Amino acid sequence: MFGSEDEPFPDALKELLGTGLTDLVVTSAGAATDAALLLLAHSILDDCAISYCRVCALAKPDDWDGFIEKRNVEFQSVKANTIEAIRKELIDSRLKALEKESLPEKIEMLHRLCKPPQNYAPLRDYSYDRETLKRIDLDRHKVVHYSGFTNAAPNLQEDLEFMGKTAWYLMGLVNQRYGLKIDLRHFFGLQTATSQEVPPPAE
């Protein structure tokens, strides 16, 4: 028991229960929400990145030759398959390994495959920044491995906007490289993209 029988709860404890604990709960709830939003946005962007890598493999498999040439192939596979089938097997193996790599590494692979033109900028008020992405990726790592945010994330809104625009940017990369017309609006069931410009495919 705290204090006397007449006053079992000290003033300090009353204050904590009345205000301090409430503030702690609100802060913790805000931090948990921030963590969940960061993880969700990061997961969506990561899925976009690896999916676009698969699109690149389908659109032009020989673009992957420089990334698979040092991989081993069983002799029986060489005897039984065409060069196209062997290439597909090696690309599939590389994609499976890429799934386990970090988000920045997946996007780096897309840049190497798609070779964007100098000063490539398909979106207004956006430029891809690897350092920002690496910092977001590290924040995600902390959330997963160190029990989430202890405080509300100060840059969450900016980070969510950056990741959203990066998904559209990657779509533009693939479109301009292979002359495709991938459109995230169809993926999400949207009729219009009011907040983004859809990068046009290459002519």
Q: Half-sphere exposure of residue 146, counting CA atoms within 13 Å on the CB side?
A: 8
The per-residue pLDDT for 68 is 84
What Rg, from alpha-carbon coordinates, does the chain have?
Answer: 24
Taking residues 183-197, report their average pLDDT.
53
pLDDT band, very low/low/confident/very high, at 143 (cuts 50, 70, 90): confident
The mean pLDDT of the chain is: 78
For 73-83, what is each residue's pLDDT tens digit? 554 555 556 77
Model confidence at 16, pLDDT cuts 50, 70, 90, reads very low
Considering only 7-16, 90-99, 135-144, 151-160, which range has the smallest mean pLDDT?
7-16
pLDDT band at 22, cuts 50/70/90?
very low
> Which residues are CB-neighbours of 158 under 8 A, at least 6 positions away?
none
Average pLDDT rounded to a whole number, residues 186-193:
51
Q: Output the pLDDT for position 149.
A: 65
Would you give the DSSP letter of residue 64? G
Give this prediction's pTM: 0.73
pLDDT of residue 181: 84
Contact 53, 98 (CB under 8 A): yes
More reliable by pLDDT, 121 or 51: 51
Residue 81 tokens read as 């398959």
CA distance 192 to 87: 38
Contacts of 142 by beta carbon, 8 Å cutoff, 6+ apart = 149
Per-residue pLDDT band for 178 (boundaries 50, 70, 90) equals: very high
Share of the chain above pLDDT 90, in %: 44
SS (HEC) of 82-150: CHHHHHHHHHHHHHHHHHCCCHHHHHHHHHHHHCCCCCCCCCCCCCCCHHHHHHHHHHHHHHHHCCCCC
